[in-house]
Chains A and B, each alone.
Chain A
Amino acid sequence: MKNLNSIFAAYMIGWGVFFLFFASVVKRTSDLRSEIERLKKNISNEK
């Protein structure tokens, strides 16, 4: 198969972008969840 490197690069880059995007969503969501837990704890401690 001619140009196999180019095809491989295109698919790896494409999937790489999707993976990085999903990883960033997961990271931001988990950071926010920890912050929500922390805030809930602070509020309940102050009650």
Chain B
Amino acid sequence: MIRRILFAAVAVGLVACAAYAAFYVAPEERTMGAIQRIFYLHASSGWAGETTFFFCFVANLLYIWRRKPQYDWLGVTCAEVGVAFITVVLLTGPIWAKPVWGIWWTWDARLTSTFVLWILYICYLLLRTLLDEPERRALLSALFGVFAFIDVPIVFGAIRWWRTQHPAPVIMGGEGSGLDPAMRKVFFFNVLAMHILALFFIAERYLLEKSKHDAELLRREAEAR
């Protein structure tokens, strides 16, 4: 219990420090001004969400290969945590876009592929509610999870392959791209904070999945009597 509280304190503390750095340490962007500070929350949440979906993908593959329920628990855990992070991305993006683009939303390649990603993992979670038999539910959702992950590299590549409305990449964007060194440090600190927060959520959500399994075993035992 103490370890969980410490983990929570570290995650929350890091997120608070990251926000402080985004507001007070990062220099103001020349053309967009202060509104650019949303980028530190928006992009770092996106990176953490996609990393979480990668963990989900690995867990899904491991389930298909090994058929151990623990991989299924990790898969659903990571899918749910990833959906929370991508929800933040989809909500904070329009708040930045309105003053900068003059519109809340457009069906640009990056925005559309991110929205599709969110829908795919919502479907992954819904699919699990439709199937009662645990092994069948685990296998079908693992197969669907592997399919859903195809969209993650599309989201990554969308701003590189198709130049539409979304700003060009500032990290791994090739020649002519990049961030001011001070902004870069703040951005990577935010990325670290969001990944620690995601790991904390994964640890907590995994315990819930394990408790579900324990409750199911006890329910069966009670019914058998």
Question: Given the complex, which residues of A lie within 8 Å of B45, measured CB to CB?
Answer: 14
Assess whether A35 is in contact with B41, with CB atoms less than 8 Å apart. no
Q: Which of B114-122, B139-147, B173-181, B202-210 contacts A (4 or more CB under 8 A)?
A: B202-210
Question: Which of chain A's residues has its CB closest to B94's CB?
Answer: A10
CB-based contact B96/A29 at 8 Å? no
Is A32 in contact with B212, judged by CB distance below 8 angstroms?
A: yes
Q: Is the CB of A3 within 8 A of B218?
A: no
- State A43–B215 Cα separation when bound (angstroms): 12
Quick one: CB contact mask for B195-225 with A, threshold 8 Å, 1 for yes?
Answer: 0010001001101100110110011011001
- CB pair B225–A29 under 8 Å, yes or no, is no
**B191 contacts the other chain (CB 8 A):** no
Question: Do most interface residues of chain A lie in helix, strand or loop, or is the interface mixed?
Answer: helix
Contact: A6 with B19, CB < 8 Å? Answer: no
Is B13 engaged at the interface, CB distance under 8 Å to the other chain?
no
A29 touching B87 in the complex, CB below 8 Å, given contacts A7-B35, A10-B38: no
Q: A10-B96, A29-B211, A39-B215 are in contact. Are A2 and B34 (CB under 8 A)?
A: yes
Chain B residues contacting A7 (CB-CB under 8 Å) are: 23, 34-35, 37-38
A13 to B45, CA, bound (A): 13
Instruction: Collect the chain B residues with CB atoms within 8 Å of residue A32's CB.
Output: 208, 211-212, 215
Kindly identify which residue among B15, B33, B204, B214 contacts A2, using a CB–CB cutoff of 8 Å: B33
Complex Cα spacing A32 to B221, Å: 16
Number of interface residues of B (CB under 8 A): 37
Give which listed residue, B92, B98, B201, contacts A14 with CB less than 8 A.
B92
Considering the chains assembled together, what is the distance between the CA atoms of A34 and B66 in angstroms? 32
B41 touches A10 (CB 8 A): yes
Decide yes or no whether B84 CB sits under 8 A from chain A. yes
Tell me which of B41, B96, B225 contacts A6 (CB under 8 A).
B96
The verdict on B110 contacting chain A, using a C-beta distance below 8 Å, is no
Q: Is the Cβ of B38 less than 8 Å from the Cβ of A6?
A: yes
User: A46 contacts B95, CB within 8 Å?
Assistant: no
B residues sitting closer than 8 Å to A (CB atoms) are 15, 19, 23, 33-35, 37-38, 41-42, 45, 80-81, 84, 87-88, 91-92, 95-96, 98-99, 197, 201, 204-205, 207-208, 211-212, 214-215, 218-219, 221-222, 225
